[in-house]
Amino acid sequence: MNEHVALITGGAKGIGRAIALDLAARGWKIAFCYRTSETEAQTTASAVADRGGTAMPIRCDVSDPLAAKRMAAQVEETWGRIDVLINGAGPYHRVNLFEETVEGWHDMFNGNLHPIFYLAQAVAPGMKARRSGRIINFSMANADQMTAQPDVTAHYIAKAGVLILTRTLAKLLAPHGITVNAISPGFIDSGSAPPAELAAVVKRIPAGYIGTVDDTVAAVRYLLSDEARYVNGANIQISGGWGI
């Protein structure tokens, strides 16, 4: 990877922001999208520049297929390539299945699963032409268990779908020098959950503590490294043993 260009969805805050800052420290060009977090996006862009990277914050609703593809085209037109796609956007809400609305149900698939399909189609041609590329998709630590989830049903099904889509993309793109893998976090202190909620779940985590964004960044760093060139279609759980 010569130019080191990454596109990160959900990169304005949380895990996505931590990944962007890690890549920035190595001089990467980083495009990241956000929907409403404009203040956080500008703060992240400044932090990327401070660490030696180049930032391109883009307001984009990746649940819109045309918007997602326009975003990818904008990055390629500006920087000439996309070496890495990290699908980090993953909205969720808690509501009992029988109280869920049709709109809420569709939102979970539109936000968590469908954008991976849209953006894979958008970035694959360039990656194929260069015969190199990395795609990392975010699922959740127990999505492969297929257990009942009364309060996060649609989100859970979408995250299980992410794993199937990851493996399918890995099989299709491996002949072109492209790897596609998933990372499945458990409880991570990324700023999205109240401290009281995290403290309440510690007893359910075999490792006995909450993970940090650095734990997730380390997995991303590995999957982007030459050491992971033969790792394809994998699902790395970052959960301290929760969800297995």
Residue ranges covered by each domain of the chain: 5-238
Bridge pairing between strands 84-87 and 54-59: unpaired
Q: Candidates 3.40.228.10, 1.20.810.10, 3.30.43.10, 3.40.50.720; correct CATH number of 5-238?
A: 3.40.50.720
> Considering the entire predicted model, what is its pTM?
0.96
- What's the rounded mean pLDDT across residues 65-74? 98
E-assigned strand segments in 149-190? 178-185, 188-189
Grouping H, G, I as helix, E, B as strand and the rest as coil, residue 43 is helix
- What's the rounded mean pLDDT across residues 72-76? 98
Share of the chain above pLDDT 70, in %: 99
| CA pair distance 198, 200, nearest whole angstrom | 5
Query: What pLDDT does residue 196 have?
Result: 85
92 catalytically annotated: no
Residue 208 pLDDT greater than 50, yes or no: yes
**Are the beta carbons of 23 and 53 closer than 8 angstroms?**
yes
DSSP run (H or E) holding 31: strand 29-34
- What's the rounded mean pLDDT across residues 132-144? 97
Residue 197 pLDDT greater than 90, yes or no: no
Query: What pLDDT does residue 192 have?
Result: 78
As a whole number, the mean pLDDT across the chain is: 96
Backbone angles phi, psi at 181, to 5 degrees: -135, 165
- What's the rounded mean pLDDT across residues 63-81? 98
Residue 113 pLDDT greater than 70, yes or no: yes
DSSP run (H or E) holding 56: strand 54-59
* Residue among 34, 156, 209, 230 flagged as catalytic: 156
Nearest-10 Cα torsion for 63, 35, 159, 216: 140
Query: What pLDDT does residue 1 have?
Result: 44
